A and B are shown apart, each in its own frame.
Chain A
Amino acid sequence: MTTEPVIQTKRRRKRQWAPYVLILPSLIYLAVFFALPMVRAVRLAIWDEHALLALREEPTSSSLAAGALPQGTAVKLLERQSVVATEVTESGGESLTEVWFHVQGTDPDGKMVMGWAAESRVRVRSTDEEGRPVGGTVRSKLGASADPLTSLYAEPSSASAIVGKLSSGTAVTIQEQAILEVWFLVAGQRDDKTVQGWAPSRALQIYGDEVSGRIDTGDTGQFTTAYIERMLNDRFFKPALGTTLLLTVIIIPAQFILAISMALVIQSRLKFNDLFLAIFAIPLAASDLAVGIVWYSIFTQNGFLNSLLQALGLLSIPQVFLSADTRHWIIIAIWLAEVWRATSLVMVIVVSGLQNIPQEVLEAAEIFGASLWQRIWRVILPLLKPSLQVALILRTILAFQVFAVVIALSGGEVVTVLANETYRQYYTLRNMNVASAYAGLILLLSMLSSIIYLRLVRSQEEVSL
């Protein structure tokens, strides 16, 4: 190895912190953009962030919890109260809010009074340049039994002290407005026990009768298998998993045969060897979506394959290859496209593996009269084993991710794969959790296959030792 003398030169020096400083940025980067997302993916798949709603003893989120109810529980609404919204609500359901105005006006006795009144009691007549209400009149109250006067409160809450009363139609100036959030005292069943406490309206779904509802979203997380179950019961799950595994199984052997053939061609040092190598390597950098479309142009109904077959007189009318009735043809097209695209990677790994085999060994085999097949089976393949194993791991894991080729050739409905289902759950169905469950499954399959391969490699090495 060329690196050995270098390493020895450095070893003589005293212990340094330089290498750690040099690798630190990449370690941090991979921790943030690889390790962390992986943990998050697992968390999204098995953790329901809105599983439980904590009910409060008082209608404020800072008060003590009186209990918790799971998402979806039916509740009775016992009492309603508005409180000044202390926190900005970002997520969850629609928040019920009330607007209160701090108004000033003349009461029926001719006294100037100031206090808070609900928006429903004041008709806004004028606003300032920014659209904020600055003046209005007190609305009239309907119903004979109602108090004809509108109460003004010390605080923006009907529970606070009344500081004055205004008759309907009184002109008022609006000095301030407050946005209140409605809280409900709710009661619901959990484990045959009634739990009662205050909950903000944003966490509840209120039915039309305004006395019952259900817990819409919780604020406390809980472990759940619901997302994984939803993935398993999805109608696309089984076909996706089946097709992914089938493709892996049929793509990889074809790739290896083709890649080893290419590597042997390169190894035999023909004329224009560099050109051959460059051509074989072209697909290495090819976009998978583009390659999918290339093969679509061949297999589509008025594509190249039908044109060729008809020109040769093998077909009288064009055959439909890429349709729901001809799933096998779609699989074949995906297979060809993937073999075309990803063989180069295996080829490069195999070629560099071949270059590590001493030339004398190959020449010796030739001189002793081994045929081409014997040389491949008895000499080259056994010596190539480490490279082939690495290529096998890389290719298997990449085969679990096959995506754009499938979309290009099947539209993603007729034939589907795991990566496509991840995308569908995320993009079409907008379900991050089930999408993460799919992503987790792909991660799990990749991890399992690399562990299995590494085990196989190690046990074989021990046997050969």
Chain B
Amino acid sequence: MTAADTPSPVVQVVDEMARVRQRARRRMLLGRTFTYFVAIVLVLWILIPIWLIASMAFTTPEVVRSYPKSVMPFIPFSFDTMRFFLQSRGIVPGLINSVIVAVITLVLSTLIAAPAGYALSRYVFRGREGFRLAILAVRAFPVVILSIPLAVTFINLGIFDQTYSLALMHTALTLPTTILVISSVFASVPYELEEAAQVFGCTPIQAFRRVVLPLVLPGIAASAIFTFVTSWNEVFAAAVLTVQNRTLPAQVLVSLQQSSEAYKFAGSFFMLLPSVIFIFAIRKYLFNMWGQVTK
């Protein structure tokens, strides 16, 4: 037995460490490859249905009717299906109504929610936690179901089947989320900034307008966009509360059974499009929207 046969304890440890490190690196590489694989599968899971419906929306109605179906880029590109959908009865008025309802909802919701959001983020007051909990509870509630009793009320008041009365309902739907989002946007601007502005001679209102407002405006805009999309997508209350002045989703819903596939597919893509664009526009603020429910 010589010293060379059995490695010294130091060498043993060094070898062992190298082996552990190598194993860890190999596992990390493997893990990373696996993660990329999962990521790509998940991306395909999200994107393939959108690709399929886009293929149907941007071709001719004849291709839509054909079987077996194939997808872009193997089929002729055309705006015919889209044009057919937009020229169908009730679609353009529905589109206009949808935009009107969504804009009223956006304005009303933001105007009512902004002060409440500011109060939640800047003041400590008795009942603050209660108010917060109430907002969370309302947000978790199936608010659209309340359009049934609201329909009865609206009929009695003579404001049934109006875009603005539907917007009142949609505001109730979006208000809790908007309050929470705006409060988290205000909370991300330190109060010290406002104080500093006042130290340098601003009045409180000037400090708010010159310092806080520019900082919170993008966040509030993101929340407003989300409000718009929520109202644009909402279909149950829209179908319950309108008859003549249908919004786009309500119009598509009630004519779904009697309509051709070209109409359905183009309508589906048309309704999806703004949401997809908006999500890309506000993706930075997604966690302000939904993340903070857990806090």
Residue positions of A touching B, CB distance < 8 A: 1-3, 5-7, 9-11, 15-16, 18-23, 25-27, 29-30, 33-34, 37-38, 40-41, 43-44, 258, 261-262, 264-265, 268, 270, 274, 276-291, 293-298, 300, 302-304, 306-307, 310-311, 318, 340, 345, 348-349, 351-353, 355-356, 369, 372, 386-387, 390, 393-394, 397-398, 400-401, 403-404, 407-408, 411, 419, 422-423, 426-427, 432, 435-436, 439, 442-443, 446, 450
Instruction: Knowing A19-B128, A394-B293, say if A37 contacts B150 (CB, 8 Å).
Output: yes
**Nearest B residue to A2 by beta-carbon distance?**
B187
Give the chain B neighbours of A25 by CB distance below 8 A.
111-112, 115-116
Instruction: Knowing A10-B123, A29-B171, say if A285 contacts B276 (CB, 8 Å).
Output: yes
- Give 3 closest A-B pairs by Cβ, nearest first: A352-B291, A285-B275, A293-B268
Residues A287 and B38 in contact, CB atoms below 8 Å apart: no
Residues B49 and A419 in contact, CB atoms below 8 Å apart: no
- Report Cα–Cα, A268/B169, bound state, in Å: 41
Give the chain A neighbours of B232 by CB distance below 8 A.
287
129-145 of chain B: CB within 8 A of chain A: 131, 134, 137-138, 140-145
Residues A401 and B267 in contact, CB atoms below 8 Å apart: no
User: Does any Cβ of A come within 8 Å of B82's Cβ?
Assistant: no
- Report Cα–Cα, A142/B241, bound state, in Å: 54
Contact of A26 among B121, B175, B188 (CB under 8 A): B175
**Nearest A residue to B234 by beta-carbon distance?**
A287
- Report Cα–Cα, A382/B219, bound state, in Å: 32
B10 to chain A, nearest CB (A): 22
Residues B49 and A423 in contact, CB atoms below 8 Å apart: no
- Kindly list 16 other residue pairs between chains A and B, CB separation below 8 angstroms, not including A25-B111, A26-B179, A30-B175: A3-B121, A3-B187, A19-B125, A22-B118, A41-B146, A278-B280, A285-B233, A287-B249, A307-B67, A348-B289, A401-B145, A404-B235, A404-B236, A411-B256, A422-B145, A423-B236
Residues A397 and B113 in contact, CB atoms below 8 Å apart: no
Residues B145 and A304 in contact, CB atoms below 8 Å apart: no
**Nearest A residue to B292 by beta-carbon distance?**
A352
Most buried by B among A19, A285, A318, A387: A285
- Report Cα–Cα, A279/B279, bound state, in Å: 9
Residues B119 and A286 in contact, CB atoms below 8 Å apart: no
Residues A265 and B150 in contact, CB atoms below 8 Å apart: no
Give the chain A neighbours of B68 by CB distance below 8 A.
302, 306-307, 310-311
Residues B149 and A41 in contact, CB atoms below 8 Å apart: yes
Residues B267 and A288 in contact, CB atoms below 8 Å apart: no
- Report Cα–Cα, A300/B191, bound state, in Å: 57
Can you name 14 A-B residue pairings with CB atoms under 8 Å?
A3-B121, A25-B111, A258-B42, A282-B46, A287-B235, A287-B271, A290-B269, A348-B289, A351-B287, A353-B291, A355-B291, A404-B253, A426-B148, A426-B240
Residues B290 and A16 in contact, CB atoms below 8 Å apart: no
Contact of A282 among B50, B116, B191 (CB under 8 A): B50
Residues A353 and B152 in contact, CB atoms below 8 Å apart: no
- Report Cα–Cα, A286/B116, bound state, in Å: 28
Give the chain A neighbours of B291 by CB distance below 8 A.
348-349, 351-353, 355
B77 to chain A, nearest CB (A): 18
Residues B175 and A403 in contact, CB atoms below 8 Å apart: no
Most buried by B among A276, A352, A446: A352
Give the chain A neighbours of B115 by CB distance below 8 A.
21-23, 25-26
Give the chain A neighbours of B276 by CB distance below 8 A.
282, 285-286
Residues B140 and A397 in contact, CB atoms below 8 Å apart: yes
Contact of B290 among A11, A280, A349, A400 (CB under 8 A): A349
B283 to chain A, nearest CB (A): 5
Give the chain A neighbours of B175 by CB distance below 8 A.
26, 29-30
Proximity bits, B97-131, A CB within 8 Å = 1, else 0: 00000000000000111011011111111001001
Residues A294 and B233 in contact, CB atoms below 8 Å apart: no
Q: Interface majority SS on B: helix, strand, loop or mixed?
A: helix
Instruction: Knowing A10-B124, A404-B253, say if A352 contacts B145 (CB, 8 Å).
Output: no
Give the chain A neighbours of B264 by CB distance below 8 A.
293, 296-297, 408
**Nearest A residue to B149 by beta-carbon distance?**
A40
Give the chain B neighbours of A283 by CB distance below 8 A.
46
User: Does any Cβ of A come within 8 Å of B47's Cβ?
Assistant: yes
Residues A439 and B148 in contact, CB atoms below 8 Å apart: yes
Instruction: Knowing A10-B122, A288-B233, A307-B70, say if A37 contacts B153 (CB, 8 Å).
Output: yes
B22 to chain A, nearest CB (A): 13
Residues A294 and B53 in contact, CB atoms below 8 Å apart: yes
Residues B116 and A22 in contact, CB atoms below 8 Å apart: yes
User: Does any Cβ of A come within 8 Å of B239's Cβ?
Assistant: yes
Give the chain A neighbours of B146 by CB distance below 8 A.
33-34, 37-38, 41, 439
B35 to chain A, nearest CB (A): 5
Residues B279 and A284 in contact, CB atoms below 8 Å apart: yes
User: Does any Cβ of A come within 8 Å of B58's Cβ?
Assistant: no
Give the chain A neighbours of B120 by CB distance below 8 A.
23
- Report Cα–Cα, A446/B146, bound state, in Å: 13
User: Does any Cβ of A come within 8 Å of B211's Cβ?
Assistant: no
Residues A287 and B256 in contact, CB atoms below 8 Å apart: no
- Report Cα–Cα, A302/B260, bound state, in Å: 13
Give the chain B neighbours of A29 by CB distance below 8 A.
112, 171-172, 175
Residues A289 and B249 in contact, CB atoms below 8 Å apart: yes
- Report Cα–Cα, A282/B51, bound state, in Å: 13
B183 to chain A, nearest CB (A): 9
Residues B145 and A349 in contact, CB atoms below 8 Å apart: no
Residues A294 and B280 in contact, CB atoms below 8 Å apart: no
Contact of A284 among B141, B236, B286 (CB under 8 A): B286
Give the chain A neighbours of B123 by CB distance below 8 A.
10, 16, 18-19, 22
246-295 of chain B: CB within 8 A of chain A: 249, 252-253, 256-257, 261, 264-265, 267-269, 271-272, 275-276, 278-280, 283, 286-287, 289-295
**Nearest A residue to B141 by beta-carbon distance?**
A446
Contact of A286 among B43, B236, B272, B287 (CB under 8 A): B272
Instruction: Knowing A3-B187, A29-B175, A282-B50, say if A289 contacts B252 (CB, 8 Å).
Output: yes
Residues B124 and A7 in contact, CB atoms below 8 Å apart: yes
User: Does any Cβ of A come within 8 Å of B217's Cβ?
Assistant: no
Residues A279 and B286 in contact, CB atoms below 8 Å apart: no
- Report Cα–Cα, A26/B178, bound state, in Å: 11
- Report Cα–Cα, A423/B256, bound state, in Å: 15
**Nearest A residue to B71 by beta-carbon distance?**
A304
Proximity bits, B159-184, A CB within 8 Å = 1, else 0: 00000000011011001100100000
Contact of B131 among A1, A23, A278 (CB under 8 A): A23
**Nearest A residue to B115 by beta-carbon distance?**
A22
Residues A353 and B294 in contact, CB atoms below 8 Å apart: yes
Instruction: Knowing A352-B291, A393-B140, A407-B256, say if A287 contacts B190 (CB, 8 Å).
Output: no
**Nearest A residue to B146 by beta-carbon distance?**
A37
